[in-house]
Amino acid sequence: MKSFGFFKNQENYDPFTDLLFNALLGFVFMFAISFILINPISTVQLNADFIITITWPDEHPDDVDTYVEDPAGNVLWYHAKEVGLMHLDRDDRGNYKDTIIVEGKKIRNVLNQETVTIRGVVAGEYVVNIYHYLATGVEDVPVKVKIEKIHPQVTVMFYQEYILTGKGDQITAARFILDNEGNVLEINRREKDLLKKTRQSKG
């Protein structure tokens, strides 16, 4: 007489195999759920409280440098790219090394831009200078300086264009004072020679 049930061959039933199969099903189920919950909208998290951007005309061969002094007297420049809470994220040298070869094809980056991030808040005065390090011709170079406050939302707190007139020309683009919460108390343009300060520190 035949017996009825879910297992036609009770003697061949292996509980360990069944356990492994159920574990596999659970893993597949969790993977499917996690895939569904992935947010398709990508967001950019800017790891900075302030961003200073210096730009000059695309493909221009001249080298313009950025100098920033923080309230503690630290000066950021191309020989000191990380000081205090300041970071020189991009040091642009005009058209120098703007071309790379990939699979036999030339790829050029025509953008002339230097970027400084301030990752934290220190109360006091910051000084931003631009310096005409290398001039290949006699023409003046227009340079745009933008300072953005990132938190709680992106706000352009300063934007101005200056003219560098040749090698060795240095301009104080902006001096801004922050309180302990990162609020901007004052912005002015009183001249300060940061180049001289870096040369003294090296000597």
- What is the full per-residue pLDDT of the chain (203 aa) written as tens digits? 554 444 455 556 566 677 777 777 776 666 666 555 554 443 444 579 999 999 999 888 899 999 999 999 999 999 999 999 999 987 776 555 555 555 666 665 668 999 999 999 999 999 999 999 988 888 899 999 999 999 889 999 999 999 999 999 999 999 999 999 999 999 999 999 999 888 876 65
Residue 175's domain comprises 50-202
Q: What is the pLDDT of residue 111?
A: 85
- Look up tokens 């922050």; give the residue: 178
Name the domain count of the chain.
1
pLDDT at 7: 47
* Distance set, CA 51 to CA 29, 38, 119, 190 (Å): 44, 30, 9, 21
Peptide bond into 57 cis (omega under 30): no
pLDDT at 32: 64
Considering the domain boundaries, does residue 29 fall inside one?
no
Give the Cα-Cα-Cα angle 90, 95, 100 (nearest 5 degrees).
Answer: 85
Q: What is the pLDDT of residue 14?
A: 65
Residue 156 to residue 184: CA distance in whole angstroms: 12
Q: Cα dihedral angle (169, 177, 161, 64), rounded to 10 degrees?
A: 40
In contact, 146 and 139? CB cutoff 8 Å: no
The DSSP letter of residue 67 is E
CA–CA separation, 201 vs 182, rounded Å? 28
Per-residue model confidence (pLDDT) at position 152: 86
Domain-embedded: residue 177:
yes
Structural domain includes residue 103: yes
pTM recorded for the entire structure: 0.71
**Which DSSP string corresponds to 106-158?**
EEE---EEEEEEE-S---EEEEEEEEEEE-SSSS-EEEEEEEEE-SSS-EEEE
Residue 102 lies in a domain: yes
3-state secondary structure of 78: coil
Whether 36 maps to a domain, the answer reads: no
Residue 47 is predicted with a pLDDT of 79
Q: Is residue 54 part of a domain?
A: yes
32 domain-assigned? no
17 in any annotated domain:
no
Assign residue 74 the CATH number of its domain.
2.60.60
Distance CA 48, CA 64 (A): 23
